Structures are given as structure tokens and as C-alpha cells.
Structure 1
Amino acid sequence: METVVEDPLAQQSLFLLGWHTVGANHPDRYALDLLGNILLVGESARIPKILQDEKKLTAFSGGTHFAQRDVGLVFIQALPNKDVKFDAIKQVVRDEVAKIQKSGITAKELQKAINKKVMDTVETLATNAGRAGEIAQGALFHNDPKHILTDLEKYQQVKPADIKRVATEYLGANWLTLEINPGSTGAPMMGPG
């Protein structure tokens, strides 16, 4: 489903893309989370690196895999540079997803994504509030007060073949897109471009 919205209050365009995925308790969530990191999170993530650094199509781009209890979403947001069309950004996304579907990822990319999860976990558990929150969420939603540690073990079990499989299974042509553009009375564009 593709939607275009003209927003008279928007100062510049914003492009959003997403795929429905699985919930937090599904075994594929771990591979999807890591795939989201490889594609979208951080300076070396594949899609922002191409959109921002190589092709200069966006001022910002990023996203993640976000899983609630029963459903999830891999989403991408892109703040395009002036005169960049959504089709150019969609093509970059299609191409990068297709590369993973065809060739998979490297062991180095996977290890980097797992290391990020480890560091995120360490940061969360470094504070009393973080520990208390994770214990409460684990006990309440998963019947496992140590759920954050159980999750970490499951991330470490993901293999490159799992990433390729979930990319093929969940990131197909059935994506959702939302293109928000300034309406005729919109304010002038801000930022680079």
C-alpha cells in the first residue's frame, strides 16, 4: 500500500517505508532485529550509508525493527534532500534488501550487529532504573525476570543464513509507504539542499 499526503504544515518532505513482521515472542524476531540493525542503525548501516554518504539523497535516514507483543514492523524514515524523489530512495532500499535476499550478509556484519545488542544490554543494565525496568518487563510480559539475558543468548545464536531467510520471508514487495510532502501553503524547506 502506497500513500501520498500533502500537508500544508509540513516544512519539507518525509518518506516512510515499512514491512509488517512478527511480534516480540516470535523466534524470527531476533534475526529481524539484527537485520534491522545491519540495514538501518548506525553510521555503517547499509541503507543510510548509501542514501546519505554515497548518493547524497537524504539529509537523514534510519530505522529499525520494532516488535510489540503480537506484531512487528521494519521501518525506514528518510528526510530527502531538495528535489529528491521518493522513487530514488525506494530503489536504493529495494536494491539493498535484494542483495541480502540473494547473497546474505557477512559474518563480520552479523557479529557487529550482535555486539551492538550486547552493548545496548550492558548500557541498559548499568543503571538501577534500567535493571528494574527490564526485570519488571521480563516478569510481566514474558514470565521471565531475566528475559533481557535470555534475549541476548538468542541474538548470539542467529546465523547469517537466518538473516537471509527473514529478509526473503518478511521484506518482500508487500511494503507500506507514506510520502508526506509540503502542501501549497507549506513553509519553505529547511536544512541542506
Structure 2
Amino acid sequence: MRTRPRLAGLALALAAGASLTACTTSVTGEATLVSAAQDATPEAGGTTTDPTPAEPTEPTDEPTAPTPAEPTAESVPADTGGEDLPVPGAGVPGDAGLCQAVAGWFGYAGLALISVDETGYVDPAGVVPLLEALRDAPADHQDASAPVLAAAEDVSAATDAAIDDIESGTDVFVAFEGLTQPATDFGTACAAAGVSV
């Protein structure tokens, strides 16, 4: 009976997901306020604050190439119903950044296990991209201390094995259970470094 191990793995994943609320990632942005008079258009029955039409710009001989959109450090697209997820640990240096990154991606992957259909099936396409981000998290935080980095590398290796298992047809829950012990050991390494996750 696989219900008990699934529930144990899911409980651990939910606990890691809950730790995301404790992680703080700095996000900067700018907002522009537009008054209602500036936003109104004559077509919509409103008035504009500038009654003179804008002068047309002269065409240039050089074509302009569109600039590709690059993902920001604060969010990364994932297969989560079209939503962008905040990148855990982005911009946070040292052990704290790595601990937030691994715990955050582990939590996201665990929460993706909740997205089951009416038969209890979890689509691996919704979990694998999150596991790939978990596997790659140590590469973005090489400034962490050696013990925390070593524990993160263990999680990374276990995650890589879980991805291989999922892609070869292993049940997602069974593959995810292989991450439980490395993730627990990683949490212990973070706590020893004075970082709570």
C-alpha cells in the first residue's frame, strides 16, 4: 500500500512549501501613477489633458530588432498553469540564499504534487521543471559555505536521479520520496549554519 509513504512525502513537501512564506526575497520595482484624466481617451467619452496631437516621428533607415524578453531574477516561468514563480533565494548571498533556494524549489515541487486529476494522476510535466530548478540551485549560490554547499550538492544529485526516474516512467510520488532524506540533511546543514528554513 503506497498511501502512507505518499502522505509522508507530501507532508514533508507541504512543510517545505510553508517555509517559503518565511523566506524573504527582495523584489524591486517601479510603479507609475496615472490620473484618471490622463488615462481617458476621447473615444471612450473622456477628455485628454493634452489637446494637441502628438507629432509623428520620422522614420529611420535602420530597422530596429525587437529585444528578447529575459526572465528576471525575481521570477521564472514554470509549468504551473501559466504563472511565474518567485525565484527563492534570488539576490540573497551566502548560506541564506542557498538555503532559501533549495527549500523553496523543494517546496514548489512538493506543492506541484497536489495538482492531481480526478484519478490521482500527477502530470510529470508540471513537476520536472521545478525539480530541474531544484537540481540547478547550487550552481547559482557558489558563495555558500562548504558544508551547506555539500549538502545542497547531495540534494542536487538525488534530484537528478529523481528526474531520470520520472522520465523513465517511475511514479512521481515514488521518485519524489527519494529526495526526502537529502532534503532533511540539507535542512540540518542550514540549521547548523544558523539559517532557518
Superposed pair shares fold, TM > 0.5: no
Larger Rg: 2
- TM-score after normalising by structure 1: 0.29
- The answer to which structure, 1 or 2, has the higher relative contact order (CA under 8 A, 6+ apart) is 1
- TM-score after normalising by structure 2: 0.29
